[in-house]
Structure 1
Amino acid sequence: MGITLHGGGPVAEVVMDVPPVNALTVSGWFELARALREAGRDPVTRAVVLRAEGRGFNAGVDVKEMQATPGHAALVGANRGCAAAFAAVYECEVPVIAAVHGFCLGGGVGLAGNADIVVAAENAYFGLPEVDRGALGAATHLARLVPQHLMRAMVYTCRTVTAAELRAFGSVLEVVPRDKLREAALDIASAIAAKDPYVIRRAKESLNGIDPVDVRRSYRFEQGFTFELNLMGAGDRHRDAFVSGEAGADGAPGEEDR
């Protein structure tokens, strides 16, 4: 369990397996970033599949760790860890295919939104519960998955969207049964791996170079408002409510799943 890298061949797999809901600790986010960068640096690797075991793809940061840690070290660590992991997906030297099942929330949207290709299980859904957690962030990445006005509605209301909705927008390439998800992701990765590896790496570099949004800078700008909310007390208030099970239902895994 934890974060594992299965490499050594043309297609590498980075797997999140952190029960119960793949909500990552500070160290978990940095471990994920290291695994993705290691996979991309390996000259043998031609594509990376990022997937998860368990009930869902990723439920974001471990709020319990944050609230149990005195001071602001865990908040700062989680923000830096998320930034590192999201950047590792985006800056991976080869294409990254995110294979999403179940819930993809908060930090999960940051990972999927920065991936080159997203495939999803029929039960997958995506959302940002940040406003209900007294935080902001990953709208940068959500905007890569949904149109502008829907992105704003999702941020303000914390509503979620399904994989089928994202496929209609073109941001999810395929929607498949849960038991076919890994196979679908590996098929796409294998098709990429069959191309000239030098050309594919330059293609990834060139596509990042023409991106209209600097995702690193945009996300860090958002994170600044999370720190403001924390300074004003809103962050702790909403996180405490979530940890105590008082947060309203918003599609996120419930307290019983944490």
Structure 2
Amino acid sequence: MPLPGLETLECYRLEVADFVATATIDRPPVNAQNGKFREETCRLFDVIHDSPEVRAVVLTGAGRAFSAGADLKERGGMAEIRGAYPRHNRLVRAAFDSLIECDKPIIAAVNGAAIGAGAALALCADIILVAEDSFMSMTEVDVGLAGGVKHILRHFGQSDARLMIYTARRIPGPELLRMNVASACLPAAELLPAAQAIAREIAGKVPLAVRAAKRSFTLVEDMPLHEGYRYEQSQTVALATTEDTREAQRAFAEKRKPVFKGR
């Protein structure tokens, strides 16, 4: 059964099992991102945010590409239409933000090319795994555009980020691992199972605590140490009185698997 509100997806395939949602970008031939894709991305991750049936998400691509980036055919004549770019840019930001703001951790399984907006989409995930034959690249300078620097700087070091942006080079999977952008670089056949295994591991933890941890990552990223840690401590105080935290502690003491109710 699809999640309520996601029965009519055209750009994604969605499967939910064992509290793990596997969202597969499916927009042939290269999973390019157009307005429809971005609207569905917002709807997909907003619904997942509110779905108790999902505790972790795997995001991957169908075929040989994760996502080849923005569908440039949509941009024809946009500069001549008043208001077109502000509307377009707002939707692009909203699509990326829907991943960052989703309460459920997202594991990106980058199975192939992740170019431009495709790389930015993967970098909005919480955990990144890459296939050995995958790559990321930011090709904006090749087509006279700009963007993506902030997303790149969240994961790449200063020199590597500039190298990537200024040259539009392809950074292959093994290099992404060496640069500490990815947590693992795997043969293509092992990529999705590994990502789903991590998602199932996360799904077995206290859901409220995992969601609080993700909110902390999102909110404290640009905070000074004192204010950031103070916020995290407030999360711990709030969690201490929840039924799920008490159940986790009882199960630990009794050496059994906990049963969580999301409260």
Instruction: Give yes or no for the alignment of 1:47 onto 2:56.
Output: yes
The change in CA–CA distance for 1:47 and 1:209 in structure 2 (over 3 A counts) is same
Instruction: Give yes or no for the alignment of 1:22 onto 2:31.
Output: yes
| One-letter identity of the residue aligned with 1:202 | A
2:64 aligned counterpart, secondary structure: coil
Given that residues 116 and 137 in structure 2 are in contact (C-alpha distance below 8 angstroms), is that contact kept between their aligned partners in structure 1?
yes
Aligned residue for 2:203?
193
Q: Which of 131, 144, 150 lines up with 2:141 in the alignment?
A: 131
| One-letter identity of the residue aligned with 2:25 | M
Aligned residue for 1:173?
183
2:59 aligned counterpart, secondary structure: strand
Given that residues 139 and 168 in structure 2 are in contact (C-alpha distance below 8 angstroms), is that contact kept between their aligned partners in structure 1?
yes
Query: Alpha-carbon deviations, 1:97-148, whole Å to 9, x = none?
Result: 0010211011112111111000111111111101122221111111122211
The 5-angstrom pairing of residues 1-150 of structure 1 reads 2-7=11-16, 9-67=18-76, 71=81, 75-150=85-160
Structure 1 runs not aligned, ≥5 long? 214-258
The change in CA–CA distance for 1:78 and 1:124 in structure 2 (over 3 A counts) is farther
2:66 aligned counterpart, secondary structure: coil
| One-letter identity of the residue aligned with 2:39 | F
Higher mean displacement: 164-173 or 100-109: 164-173
Equivalent residues, number = 213
Q: Which of 176, 197, 212 lines up with 2:222 in the alignment?
A: 212
2:109 aligned counterpart, secondary structure: strand
**RMSD over equivalenced CA pairs, Å:** 1.9
The change in CA–CA distance for 1:68 and 1:28 in structure 2 (over 3 A counts) is farther
| One-letter identity of the residue aligned with 2:181 | S
Q: Aligned-pair distance for 1:163?
A: 1.4
Larger Rg: 2
| One-letter identity of the residue aligned with 1:49 | V
Q: Aligned-pair distance for 1:182?
A: 1.1
| One-letter identity of the residue aligned with 1:177 | P
Percent identity between the aligned chains? 36
Structure 2 runs not aligned, ≥5 long? 1-9, 224-263
| One-letter identity of the residue aligned with 1:91 | E
Q: Distance in 2 between matches of 1:57 and 1:210?
A: 29
* Structure 1 consecutive aligned stretches of length 4 or more whose deviation exceeds 6 Å: none
Question: What TM-score, normalized by structure 2, do the two folds share?
Answer: 0.75
Question: What TM-score, normalized by structure 1, do the two folds share?
Answer: 0.77
